[in-house]
Amino acid sequence: MIAWLRMLLYRCVFYAGSVPIVVGIAFVAPFGQRAVIRHAHLWAKLNRWCTRVILGITTQIEGEVPPGQYLFVSKHQSMFETTELQLMLGGPAMVLKRELRRIPMWGWATELYGSMSVDRDASAKALRRLMSEGAALRAQGRSVVVYPEGTRVPPGETPPLRSGFAGLYKAVGLPVIPIALDSGRVLPKKGVARPGVVTFHFGEPIPAGLPRREAEQRVWAAINALEPDRPETMPAA
């Protein structure tokens, strides 16, 4: 019962605080992208505060977050890492499903913040747009963060990477920093949150320009480093 009450309080405080922050983007936008990023990080800091104070969830980092421009590729078990990594990594551009950009106000805010959109199809038009957006972000000096599993997966599951990862890897032409995490232990996709520590494990850099199969296998293995019973090779899609 206490855990459910904590979740209810968390949702009330977080969503109530999110409304003025998202609406406030309209007043910050004229001051440029840096101002938008700083403002958007208020939302990430609100979530960090709520999870720590209300839910009793903290974080620890294993490995190093290197300086420079990278493609950060992360395991995805909860919504927690989508805001927490923005703070840890200093505001990288995001890779989002294209339909998320259609959300009123929030979609516009993500465009101002810096994002790439990916389609579920693999059409030539979608690939050209991905290549163009990737080249633009690289020219701006922005790092990029992506969740190549495409959706949240429960702890212990190690699905293959979505096919769009290979196109993104080629489009941005950046070395990869893989990130393994275990947020699903305390923030499950279904069910109630519980107090605990979320580990973010930053792996060794993976160079740009590798053959597709090698890049996918190395990334898949690295983002699943905290999964004790993972298979040796990535399963077929």
Between CA 49 and CA 57 the distance in angstroms is: 9
Cα torsion angle, 147, 152, 154, 155, sign: positive
- The pTM for the full model equals 0.91
List, for residues 106-165, the tens digit of each pLDDT value.
Answer: 777 888 888 877 765 556 676 777 777 777 888 888 899 999 998 899 999 999 998 778
Return the H-helix or E-strand segment holding 110. helix 106-113
HSE-CB for 224 with a 13 A CA cutoff: 26
| Average predicted confidence (pLDDT) for the chain | 89
The mean pLDDT value for 68-82 works out to 95
Dist. CA 235–CA 220, nearest whole Å: 10
Q: Which of 113-117, 137-141, 167-171, 208-212 has the highest mean pLDDT?
A: 208-212
pLDDT in tens, 19-36: 999 889 889 999 998 999
Among candidates 156, 142, 161, which has minimal Cα distance to 73? 161
Beta bridge partners of 61: 200
Q: What is the mean pLDDT of residues 27-55?
A: 94
Nearest Cα to Cα of residue 26 among 92, 116, 123, 106? 106
Q: How far apart are CA 156 and CA 208, in angstroms?
A: 28
Under a CB-based contact definition with an 8 Å cutoff, are residues 81 and 126 in contact?
Answer: no
* Amino acid found at 205: P
Can you tell me the distance from the alpha carbon of 223 to that of 206, in angstroms, rounded to the nearest whole number?
A: 12
pLDDT for 71 equals: 95
pLDDT given for residue 100 in this prediction: 66
User: What number is the average pLDDT over the span 40-61?
Assistant: 96
Q: What is the pLDDT of residue 179?
A: 98
pLDDT tens, position by position, 60-71: 999 988 889 999
The predicted structure's pLDDT at residue 161: 92
**pLDDT reported for residue 99:** 67
